[in-house]
Amino acid sequence: MNLNLKWQIVVLTQSQGQELCSWSYPQPYDIYNWPKWEIMLRDDSEFADPVIRTQQYAAIVDEHEHLCGFAQFFPIVGVTRLGVGLRPDLCGAGKGLGQHLIKLLVDEAKRRAPQHEIDLEVLVWNERAIRTYERAGFTITDTYERSTPTGTALFHCMVYNVAKND
pLDDT tens-place string over residues 16-26: 999 999 999 99
The whole-number average pLDDT for the span 152-160 is: 97
pLDDT at 146 over 60: yes
- Neighbour tally for 11: CB within 10 Å: 10
pLDDT (0 to 100) of residue 69: 95
Residue 136's nearest CA partner among 156, 166, 115 is: 166
Tell me the whole-structure pTM to 2 decimals: 0.90
Q: Strands 79-86 and 117-123, how do they pair?
A: parallel
Residue 72's nearest CA partner among 97, 47, 51, 49 is: 47
pLDDT (0 to 100) of residue 2: 42
> Regarding the domain with residue range 8-160, which homologous superfamily does it belong to in the CATH classification?
Gcn5-related N-acetyltransferase (GNAT) (3.40.630.30)
CB contact at 8 A, 70 and 16: yes
Per domain, the residue ranges of the chain are: 8-160
Residue 133's nearest CA partner among 116, 120, 148, 143 is: 120
pLDDT at 3 over 60: no
